[in-house]
Amino acid sequence: MKDWLRRVFMGRQGMDELSKLLFWTAILFFMLALLLGGAFGSLLLTLSVMLLAFAFARAFSRNLPLREAENLLLLRWVDRKKRAWSAWKDRFADRREYRYFKCPGCGKWLRVPRHKGKIHINCRCGYTLYRRT
């Protein structure tokens, strides 16, 4: 059985992160459909079956470059969200000692010490902000 399964998946994508996400989302929608019932439940059930079919179609696909590109898009999006969350946590932890301002020129976050009065802040892009800390 194990050897048969290995031969089936030879040259195929397998369950990557995007396929796993689609699979677990389909399971969640299926459970919600069972709980809710009615027209909304049938819509969730249909969506669940479609997601499950797409997840397995991705897993058995032999078009590896396209499947890897799709998975890479998901991984990049998740990484951006993780970095944004980590930066927010750092800013939140330092909120008593520092003030944070976003540069209107380049969008970079600038950190300045609190309780210094009205100061001017020079960004690396050349933009100068006048803010009260």
pLDDT digits (tens, 9 = 90+) for 69-114: 999 999 999 999 999 999 999 999 999 999 999 999 888 999 999 9
User: Is residue 29 classed exposed, middle or buried when 0-12, 13-18 and 19+ CB atoms within 10 A define those classes?
Assistant: buried
Is pTM beyond 0.75? Reply is: no
pLDDT digits (tens, 9 = 90+) for 9-67: 777 777 889 999 999 999 999 999 999 888 888 999 999 999 999 998 988 888 888 98
Q: Who's near 91: CB < 8 A, 6+ residues apart?
A: 100, 109
Q: What is the DSSP letter of 15?
A: S
Q: Residue 105's pLDDT is what? A: 86
Q: Who's near 121: CB < 8 A, 6+ residues apart?
A: 101, 110, 112, 128, 129, 130, 131
